[in-house]
């Protein structure tokens, strides 16, 4: 998990228009699942990191 945090910080520093998203869902039995992601553009390339 530490590696993911380091990658996200480096990614945000080099991105144009960085976006952070938390995809949360709740199952029928009440379990909550969270899938965070960070996305943006580095030059002409769209890049996303999710966990």
DSSP letters spanning 4-41 = HHHHHHHHHHH-EEEEEEEEEEE-TTS-EEEEEEEEEE
Quick one: average pLDDT of 38-48? 78
pTM attached to this predicted model: 0.50
- pLDDT band for 18, please (50, 70, 90 cuts): confident
The pLDDT assigned to 32 comes to 92
Q: What is the pLDDT of residue 20?
A: 78
Range of the domain at 27: 2-50
Q: What is the DSSP letter of 49?
A: E
Q: What is the count of structural domains for the chain?
A: 1
Percent of the chain with pLDDT over 90: 8
Which residues have CB under 8 Å from 34's CB, separation 6+? 22, 23, 24
């Amino acid at each position: 998990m530490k590696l993911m945090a380091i990658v996200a910080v480096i990614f945000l520093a080099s991105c144009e228009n960085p976006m952070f998203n938390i995809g949360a869902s709740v199952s029928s039995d009440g379990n909550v699942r969270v899938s965070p992601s960070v996305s943006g553009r580095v030059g002409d390339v769209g890049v996303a990191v999710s966990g």
